[in-house]
Structure formats: structure tokens, C-alpha cells
Structure 1
């Protein structure tokens, strides 16, 4: 019975990811007809990457929505989206990345493919992990604000030139169902499919390369990890510094040193692997005891 319960716990996160992906991309008619849902729920953001143009999307992506507003010639700031990101970040941090993001689910499933040598990190990981902050500052904020067309309108640079989630869930399904779009394809679609293909191939060998190195939404939420309502604590009296948590962590984080690293996606593997029970989330029943 204990083995069955343990197996259920290991699969819980995957089922939560699948359920949330189905919930936020549940407009089946969009995939069948090659159309985009434009109902009232599209005015609201969902926590993870969720391309507005995905045929099944019932909500909007916070990064895409943010760019759409600041790139507009009529608006330069969006209190709703910034407030949304701050609220979600302050409560959950990168828990969203680990449990609620559809593209995170895709990477997780690819990493489960066996018979491929797994890498702990890419060469240059120490520097590459900061690339997502460069993308956040440059492609999400600065370029949409400063590179304008003749009428003063900017572009959603990250969505247009980088976002692999939008390519996978929106671009490819829409192109596959529309002959006119297929005839109009150019270099940009080829470029984005190339980015997607590289990331999907890397995901088989390296755990979540997009989340680690490129995702601006993960960069935003990661800034809140140390102060989020949901975070991890390490009991200094129980922890021996054995580093078992780091060996188990798919993101290769030294949890015993930095339990609330901006890179942590709150998958919980470290907590389960700790032989001394030293790692405790703030929402645990043992949080008071662990904190003492």
C-alpha cells in the first residue's frame, strides 16, 4: 500500500500539469476549426505561458498581454498585468513554472524519454541562466517600447521572434489547418520552428532548458521566490549538508544552501529526497516545528 501511495505522489505534479493545461486550453472547437476563441475569459491572464493565439486558449498569456499594452501607441503601462504578476509571484513564486505551465509540461514529458544520456546542465550554465533576464529586459520591455513603426506602434518582440510555446500551441496548429497561411509562410515561421525544434531536442537530455535559460515569465516569478508566501525552509538542526537534495534536484540547485533560489520551480523532489526531513515548505503541517 505504501508503494502505491508513493507512486501516486510522484505522479501528482504531472496530473496537475495536465489538468491545468486542459483547463486553460479547453476550447476544442478552436483546434477543430482552426479558429481562436475570443470570448470574455480572454480578457483575463492565466499564470503560465498560454499564447493568446492558441486555438484552444481560454485565457491570455501575461507576457503576451504585457507586450501588447506597452507596444501600443495608446498605452505605455498596464497596471492590471503588472499587478497580476506581482500577486501571483508574491504568493507562489516559480511554483507556477513547476506545476501550471503547459510548456513546462511538454519539457517534463520529453525529459522522461529513456535511453538518452541526461546532462545536469549545459556548458556555460553559470552564465546562460542569466539570459532569461536579458530577454525579459530587452525583448519584453525595451524593444517593444523603443522600436516603433511610422504610426508609433511597437511589436511584441518576444512573442513574435522567440516564444516556443506560442509556436507549438498556436503557430503550428493554425498553419496546419489553414492553406492560406501555409502559402504565406516566410523566414519568421521557419526561424521560430527552428528555435522550438532545438529546445524540444535539448529537453530530452537537459531538464527544462527553456525554463532555465530563456523564459522571461520564469525570470519574473523567480525574483519573488525568496519572499513568496509559498517557499522552502531548511532546518539547520536537521540538515547535515550531505547535498543529496542537490543531486536529486533536476535544476541542479544546492537546496541546502539556497532553498529559495530564483531557479527553483518548486517541484518538491528535494523535499522527498532529503534523508533527514530537513526541507519543509511554508504550507506544510510541520512548518512551525521546522522553523524553530
Structure 2
């Protein structure tokens, strides 16, 4: 029978979405930690401070390089199914989730409501416990099937659109996103060499046009776009990493030169 580790490492939260209740979890989830403090009526200085330090340094890079649920969605998107793009306005829903399900509702109801509904928790904790532990299996009720339905919804939509949970729901991504434009690490785009081919958007897991907004609040900092020589990872101390060129929206380098001559 599986057992839950409750040692000293559980006092630390890691900067990626995970689940305290996962049978193999060694650390705590930052969103779960924030909810815990709200439920007990205390401000989550420790959790928000940890996330603030990480966000100030790398922005959303942990979302793009370390998050297991994000990786899971990337794999699902590779399935050959009908595809569609999410509208830009869905990005704001994750802030609604953050404020309501992580802060306000847990404080009022004294219940960790985001954790109760989180598809990541269902995948790596709920399903394993029900599968491995007979005693837990006997306690399955309606709420468990609600959680399974939410997980199946995101599994299905992830095969058709890029990272729907990360873009529309994830409260941790919402927290890190506010640091993207001012973090120590940042992306620079070279207008002088970019041909506006659009390949950066095609490979981007969240459909960003790097030539328009290299440090978008949606950017996961996965660095896939840096395969292109026109995009580069720099720091806030880098001076003029690329030669600045006059911008002609939607026009490549050769066309800009022709415009300049005219």
C-alpha cells in the first residue's frame, strides 16, 4: 500500500504546479501552500515571497521548462486531431481563478477549493491513490467524478489546442506572468534580421508572435523560439543585444531596405 511522505522537505514549495498528496511528492505545491494560509486566516508571505524571487529572476521559465502538467499537455497536442486556437481574452480567466479559488473563496469557506478541482492533482494524486489503495477506493464519492470530468476536459482540449490549462486557468502561471516584462532574464527580438516568416508562432506552445511581443505575459520562456537567430535570451543588464532597426510591421528585412531606399 502506498504511503504519503510527510517529512521535513514538505515544508518547502517548488515553483511548479504539483500536488502535496501525490504518493511520490517530496515538496509542497505553491498554490496549495497559499490556500493553506488563506484557510487559516494568515497572509501567505512565505509562498508569495518564494514565487516572487523566482518570478523576478526568470519570469515564467519554470512553466515552460519544469512543469510536468505543461509537458503532459505538449504531448497530447501532438496527437493528430482537429485543431483550433484559443482567443486572446481567455488569458484573463486565470487571474479570476487566482483571486477567487486561491485567495477569496478559501479564506471565506476554509476549504482549499482550487486543490479540490485541480486536474493536475487528480492526475498525479487522485488517480494513483484510488488505484493503489483499497481503503481510498472505498471512499470515492461524487466529488471524485467531478474531478475526473475536469481532467478529461483538459486532456481532450489539449489534443486540439496548445496548453489550454496553462493559458486559461493556471493560477501559478498568472502569478509568474506579472514578472515576465521585468524579470532578470528576458527575450530580445532582432528587427534587422527577422523576415516575419511566422515560424516562431508555429512552434510556440502558447501561440505568441515573438516579433510583436517577445516578453508577453503569456510567454512560458520555453526558449523554443531562440532556435531562430533573430530571437535571443538576454538579461536586463545586456546593452543593445541586437542592432535596432526601423520597424515596418509585417515587412521583412529585404522589403524594409527597399522601403528605406524609396
Counterpart CA distance in 2 for 1:198 and 1:118 is 15
2:217 is matched with: 262
Deviations 1:150-195 (A, max 9, x none): xxxx1111001x2111001011111112222222211111001100
2:121 aligned with 1:159: no
| Per-residue deviation, 1:287 | 7.3
1:34 aligned counterpart, secondary structure: coil
Q: Could you tell me the TM-score, scaled by structure 1's length?
A: 0.78
Aligned residues: 243
TM-aligned CA distance change 1:291 to 1:229, over 3 Å: farther
Q: Is this contact kept in 1: 2:32–2:112, CA < 8 A?
A: yes
The aligned runs of 1:121-160 (5 Å cut-off) are 121-122=85-86, 125-147=87-109, 154-160=110-116
- Return 5+ residue gaps in structure 1 as ranges: 1-32, 148-153
1:56 Cα deviation from its structure 2 partner = 0.3
Matching residue of 1:279: 231
Which residue among 124, 136, 140 is the counterpart of 1:185? 140
Tell me which residue corresponds to 1:247: 202
Match of 1:93 among 35, 59, 82: 59
Match of 2:46? 80
The whole-number CA distance in structure 1 between the counterparts of 2:239 and 2:190 is 10
* Aligned-residue CA RMSD (Å): 2.0
Deviation at 1:63, TM superposition (A): 0.3
Larger Rg over CA atoms:
2
Q: Distance in 1 between matches of 2:181 and 2:105?
A: 29
Identify which of 234, 239, 260 aligns with 2:189. Answer: 234
The 2-side partners of 1:250 and 1:169 are apart by: 22
Where does structure 2 lack aligned partners over 5 or more consecutive residues?
A: 245-262
Q: Give the match for residue 242 of structure 2.
A: 290
Equivalent residue number for residue 32 of structure 2 = 64
- Contact 1:70-1:77 within 8 A present in 2 as well: yes
Within a 5 Å distance, the mapping from 1:10-21 to structure 2 comes to none
User: Are 1:39 and 2:1 counterparts?
Assistant: no
* Residue 48 of structure 1: how far off its partner (Å): 0.3
Equivalent residue for 1:194? Answer: 149
Residue aligned with 2:188, SS: strand
Counterpart residue number, 1:3: none
Contact 1:281 1:287 survives alignment (8 Å)? no
Q: Hey, what does 2:74 align to over in structure 1?
A: 108
Q: CA deviation at 1:240?
A: 4.5
Q: In 1, are the aligned partners of 2:188 and 2:241 still within 8 Å (CA)?
A: no
SS at match of 1:205: coil
Match of 1:150 in 2: none
